Structure 1
């Protein structure tokens, strides 16, 4: 299996997990597409536009495996003009599903399978908390500090009793929340995290 094929397989698994967890897949797609644009992974933050272009690319036999990276493939996809004659060919849900697949593949290529899977599933469970700005911060800080976002997911979902892992995840969350809301005290940040764990 080639790199792109393996990447796509991993992304497909992530998308399936999101579809199982999320009560509103559309909300998840909107968040991750917005983050994709902010991080410079895509030019658009419109899921339907991205999805339709990717579906058009499929029809034109533009395939990810023909490119050196998935990011290069997406650049080609986004260079396509939207075909007005095909706007109604695919439903809103089909376009959004394709956009989620594209975003999952982009994030997997940039941040790795584990981090992408952990964060996408958290967005699916808590879309009100994991806003585009917050999600961006989590991805960027975790990459900068080489921290596994799965540890944060384990903390939030009460899946670990390892004190060191809990402290590491809490410290990362404190740092990110302080960046987003600098006016909050450590106590307020701690309360926010505890409330999140109780959900």
Structure 2
């Protein structure tokens, strides 16, 4: 943030969409700075599964500063989710008893909406999590006019799920299967 502050003094255009990747740990006093700099927060929700590693590296006293999904959204900061490297995924099994590979967006949504985070109370709604993976991610990449939502004139890139993740127990989201993928209006996969 210090670097962004210096850069913005030289180049005051705050209409750029700079982001901070892996904003997993942040102090309260820096969240307001983050917002004032109009930065985008990029989180990897599956990292919340790495509880032992997080405790070992961060320590109990700093857990309150980790994975602040809800806090960032409540402060009006643009948040995006992504899968990154599949760390932590092996701590959960899918419904067939196999390890997740970690890149599954539904696993990330599961992690973001259920209160499995060591920093309790930072979970978000299913709608917020989906928007962080879709609408907000398109915005962060200057592509909100062609991706991120299903609207006339945009690329028809979407998945059809076997269950409605907005109307099931959130603990089941990680096990929902993809029925179909559509890319630019063409079926790419069908079960």
TM range (shorter): under 0.3
Q: TM-score, normalised by structure 1?
A: 0.24
Higher relative contact order (CA 8 A, sep 6+): 1
Q: TM-score, normalised by structure 2?
A: 0.24
Higher helix proportion: 1
